[in-house]
Amino acid sequence: MKDILIQGRYRVDRKIGEGGFGLVYSGTDLDNGNEVAIKIMESRNDPRELKEEADTYRALAGKVGIPQVYWFGEEGSYYVLVLELLGPSLEDLFNYCDRRFSLKTILLIADQAISRIEDIHGHVLHRDIKPDNFLMGISKQGNILYTIDFGLAREFFDDKQDRGYQGLPFGGTTRYASIKNHKGLEQSWGDDLESLGYMLPYFARGSLPWQGLKAATEDKKRELVQQKKMALSGEELCRDLLPAEFAKYIDYTRSLGFQVKPDYRYLRTLFRTRFQSEGFKYDNVFDWTIKRFDDIHESVENQNSAR
């Protein structure tokens, strides 16, 4: 079978995922043998989101945890974005670890994620913070948390009235959406951080209290989720699962006004202080690191015993 090549250089190898506006493949850069990610969408679709995503990656180039763009353009009847290949998402790793992360791993994730969001906020709002959009790097970057999928990202203009525009359509992912997003208000910096705040108890408990709610329509379901979120304080979300710092984080990010820039250092310090008080070490040993080691060790033992 003939190879599919992009610009005569990037070979399409196998499908590894798909999003709202395209398929994602792993590929090979034939000039240097490096693996790449190739995001493809048909030319008949509006290419603006894919182009804006490429532009956002380029604007954030050089920041830790932002994948490098190698090429974007039109190839035949497709628009193509060629990126640095990354490893599994936090959602993938969560499933691999039997849908529970330890406190140490959650604190390590929170520390890196806040830094990524702060860097992103120097240019845009992400507007779809969720476990699927955080990926670990590969090889020497295997302990670096990356942020992807800027299809919903927008610049933030703080010259609007305090509450921002109202009556806006919902955007993003219901499970992790901020309360302001549910209410149809313009999103701000705090909304991305609030979404991260819902990821953290999710990792500790395996689900969130508003998952599984039933309704006749998606709009009705989102309304039920909104009501459930508003009824639960940070303390109630984290009770018996996570230390008080996590409740403080959630309550703080929810309280931020439209034009109020978050204190990212304060939020990182919350978690770093707890990390140190627990006696943890910054050794980049995550739950999946240990499980992978144990799985490999068990596989070797099984092979030896079968001989």
| Residue range 132-188, pLDDT digits in tens | 999 999 999 999 999 999 989 999 876 655 455 677 889 899 999 999 999 999 999
| Residue range 274-301, pLDDT digits in tens | 999 999 999 999 999 999 988 886 766 6
Q: 29 - beta bridge partners? A: 10
Which of these is catalytic: 46, 92, 119, 128? Answer: 128
Percent of the chain at pLDDT > 90 equals 82
Fold of 90-277: Transferase(Phosphotransferase); domain 1 (1.10.510)
- What amino acid occupies position 219? D
Specify whether domain 9-84 bears CATH 3.90.79.10: no
DSSP H/E element including 200: helix 189-205
Q: Is the pLDDT of residue 21 over 90?
A: no
| Residue range 204-255, pLDDT digits in tens | 999 999 999 999 999 999 999 999 999 999 999 999 999 999 999 999 999 9
Mark whether 158 is an active-site residue.
no
The reply, when asked if residue 39 is annotated as ligand binding, is yes
For every residue of 66-89, DSSP letters joined together read -PPEEEEEEETTEEEEEEE----B
Structural domain boundaries in the chain: 9-84, 90-277
- Whether the predicted model's global pTM rises above the 0.85 cut: yes
CB crowding 19-34: b at 16 or more within 10 Å, else e: bebbbbbbbbbeeeee
Closest by alpha carbon to 257, among 191, 204, 192?
191
